[in-house]
Chains A and B, each alone.
Chain A
Amino acid sequence: MQYLPNILFALTLAVGIGYFVMNVRKLSRNIKLGKDVDRTDNKSERLKNMLMIAVGQSKMVKRPLSGLLHIIVYIGFIIINIEVLEIIIDGLLGTHRVFQGIIGDGFYAFLIGTFEILAALVFVAVVVFWLRRNVSNIKRFLSREMKGWPKSDANYIIYFEMVLMTLFIVMNATDVPFQQAGIGNPISQFVAPLFDGFTPETIHTIERTAWWLHIVGILIFLNYLYYSKHLHILLAFPNTYFANLKPKGQFNNLESVTNEVKLMMDPDADPYAMPAEGAEEAVPEKFGASDVADLSWVQLLNAYTCTECGRCTSACPANLTGKKLSPRKIMMDTRDRLEEVGRNIDANKGAFVDDGKQLLGDYILEEELWACTSCNACVEECPVNIDPLSIIMDMRRYLVMEKSAAPQELNMMMTNIENNGAPWAYNQQDRLNWANE
């Protein structure tokens, strides 16, 4: 019977990690629903971007207060994983504070001491986060797409971190031998006296409970990620790695269009020619995007990475002037629709069955798309290099090229370009008049 806790621990761990792996598979399958785009070039520059932006948080600090708080929580998260490692080894082997014996008292004291201070700092940071979100009137936390689940999601994450940090301190505070050794307990020594009146058994029970809740909490948190904007703590790394490296003003030239235009402009091409023998049945290419499968896997990865911070929206000129467009909403809608498609595939044994819905119209409105000035403010602003603009542009392309549904004035502008070589109805022969006026 003495192995019962170890077995129980191993089982808990297996369930927690197993469920996580299952969700990661689903995540990667959903992302792969997107169209292919090559992001294997310039490996060193990509790596550098990832190190600077995701690891080094270089874009977070552009807003100093939230940047600093975020860095505290981020460092806390990374470093405390060492503690989690110890917990896992202890749990599996039935040891207690196994690292202490391995690395020696001095270094162990330093390590755990640092964790405790970080835990306290993280606690303070998330309290400030909570206040910012729930008490102060910061506009980007109050927009319409932040009602309901997105708001609660953000708060749940905060509560989670508060509880985990508290458990960590309590666990240390009630570890009597640890307290008596007086090493690495800069914070928990002040919590320990709270338990003075308790019997040793009770204190031990509290310690074990906190220990268990701590690790179970972490496993639950791990599995919560998939359902939450908090997924960015994992995806920020690949997302910054695969992000666009070209100048922001460079929009891709659709290759399918290039082929058709070349054919149209080639005087030797026979428009009535039959496709060559054995050529693939020509499936008419769909221009632009109306649903998630028309987007690229990078755009879908973007959607899962979005942490709903709203920095993009708060810089968007359309949004700032009261228009319906919010680049954050574009990303959230894309993710919501992708999840819906994913669930559809799960429910239909691996194949998507038309549900009569699509991203365009059911989630993102034309009015939002047409409000965009393509200024790249959102792209510049995003701390994890998400490109909401590319999705907006792909959907405009669908509206114009597949649906001929551009606003009337834009149709006129395009007719003018076609007929006069200028967006206005001037005669091309008058192009040089300015020189003689």
Chain B
Amino acid sequence: MNVPTMADMMAQGKQPEVLFWVGAAGSYDDRAKKITRAFVKILHQANVDFAVLGVEESSTGDAAKRAGNEFLFQMQAMMNIEVLNGYEVKKIVTCDPHSFNTFKNEYPSLGGKYEVYHHTQFIQNLISEGRLKIDDTNLKGKRVTFHDPCYLGRANEVYESPRDLIRRLGVNLTEMKRSRETALCCGAGGAQMFKDAEKGDKEVNVLRTEDALKTNPQIIATGCPYCNTMMTDGIKFKEREDNVIVRDIAELIAEANNL
């Protein structure tokens, strides 16, 4: 896959239109890597001039911050800002709502001011600029439900862009009872992803999967690599992997467009 890095670009004296921030999950996690690749295919199809940081990318520090380690967060933030500002980055797109939130809201006061897009917003723009079309025949009629990531939805009030894209797939979107502002967390946020849950009588991702299953979906659409893992685990726990699949919106678009 042809994925240019900022260093390559710089060597050629070029400045890409946008930096794609891949994020730790998108770089290392086997499931999330598929989302990363799907998004890159979409960028290629739309002829977007982008680059990644590659080995120069580091953790945004989001998980450290939510765990309470403000020191580590700010160290990471300042290091990243140094790199980003060094490359004169103006526009960032990411598939990870946590990175999105941190760049958009928490980096500016530390000196990192960028135009930040979640990939669903970015793709939506590509469509409205006429650079991308979604084929609405391949997934036609599929029963889909969408799980709002807390850090995209409640945290930043982005509810429409993912839904707009899903509707363009020609599928049949059914909302869960808890959706948008009242959506239930998948259970990964606040650094929970990296530890066992406290004692309780259920895992959050199982409860959320039950919410989703009540809509009788064939596909659970997600917009965050962590949500994706949580919902996939939930489906396995419920032993429904035979008839329900969990897909990021980027993956669905790549599939619809036969990429």
Q: Name A's B-contacting residues (CB within 8 A).
A: 246-251, 253-254, 257-258, 260-262, 264-265, 287-288, 315, 317-318, 320-325, 367, 370-377, 379-381, 393, 396-401, 406-407, 409-410, 412-414, 417-418, 421-424, 426, 428-437
Q: Are B71 and A261 in contact (CB under 8 A)?
A: yes
The total of interchain contacts (Cβ-Cβ below 8 angstroms) comes to 218
Q: Are A409 and B70 in contact (CB under 8 A)?
A: no
* B199 beta carbon closer than 8 Å to chain A: yes
With A248-B155, A400-B68, A409-B196: A434-B33 Cβ-Cβ less than 8 Å: yes
Which chain A positions have C-beta within 8 A of B192?
A: 373
Q: Are B70 and A397 in contact (CB under 8 A)?
A: yes
What would 23 A/B residue contacts be, using CB atoms closer than 8 Å?
A: A247-B155, A249-B101, A249-B151, A250-B155, A253-B109, A254-B74, A257-B71, A257-B74, A261-B75, A317-B185, A317-B208, A321-B202, A325-B198, A375-B184, A377-B185, A410-B195, A413-B64, A413-B194, A417-B63, A422-B28, A430-B28, A431-B22, A434-B22
Q: How far is the CA of A413 from the CA of B70 in the complex (A)?
A: 14
Q: Are A258 and B68 in contact (CB under 8 A)?
A: no
Q: How far is the CA of A437 from the CA of B31 in the complex (A)?
A: 13
Q: Are B106 and A396 in contact (CB under 8 A)?
A: no
A402 CB to nearest chain B CB (Å): 10
Chain A proximity mask over B35-54: 1 for CB below 8 Å, otherwise 0:
01100100000000000111
A412 CB to nearest chain B CB (Å): 8
Q: How far is the CA of A368 from the CA of B40 in the complex (A)?
A: 40
With A374-B189, A375-B185, A435-B1: A421-B59 Cβ-Cβ less than 8 Å: yes
Q: How far is the CA of A422 from the CA of B64 in the complex (A)?
A: 10
Which chain A positions have C-beta within 8 A of B195?
A: 370, 407, 409-410, 413
Q: How far is the CA of A257 from the CA of B157 in the complex (A)?
A: 29
Chain A proximity mask over B64-93: 1 for CB below 8 Å, otherwise 0:
111111111011101100000000000000
Q: How far is the CA of A401 from the CA of B26 in the complex (A)?
A: 29
Q: Are B66 and A258 in contact (CB under 8 A)?
A: no
Contact of B182 among A315, A324, A423, A434 (CB under 8 A): A315
Contact of A429 among B36, B52, B55, B206 (CB under 8 A): B55
With A249-B105, A250-B105, A421-B57: A406-B74 Cβ-Cβ less than 8 Å: no
Q: Are B157 and A436 in contact (CB under 8 A)?
A: no
With A260-B71, A396-B67: A432-B194 Cβ-Cβ less than 8 Å: no
Q: Which of B52, B63, B71 has the most CB of A within 10 A?
A: B71
A370 nearest in chain B by CB position: B198
Which chain A positions have C-beta within 8 A of B28?
A: 422, 424, 426, 430-431
Q: Which of B24, B69, B72 has the most CB of A within 10 A?
A: B69
For chain B, residues 2 to 19, give those with C-beta under 8 angstroms from any C-beta of chain A: 3, 5
Q: How far is the CA of A396 from the CA of B190 in the complex (A)?
A: 11
Q: How far is the CA of A410 from the CA of B184 in the complex (A)?
A: 23
Contact of B105 among A247, A318, A430 (CB under 8 A): A247
Q: How far is the CA of A367 from the CA of B28 in the complex (A)?
A: 30
Which chain A positions have C-beta within 8 A of B68?
A: 288, 393, 396-401, 406
A368 nearest in chain B by CB position: B198
Q: Are B64 and A417 in contact (CB under 8 A)?
A: yes
Q: How far is the CA of A315 from the CA of B211 in the complex (A)?
A: 14
Q: Are A434 and B37 in contact (CB under 8 A)?
A: yes
Q: How far is the CA of A414 from the CA of B150 in the complex (A)?
A: 22
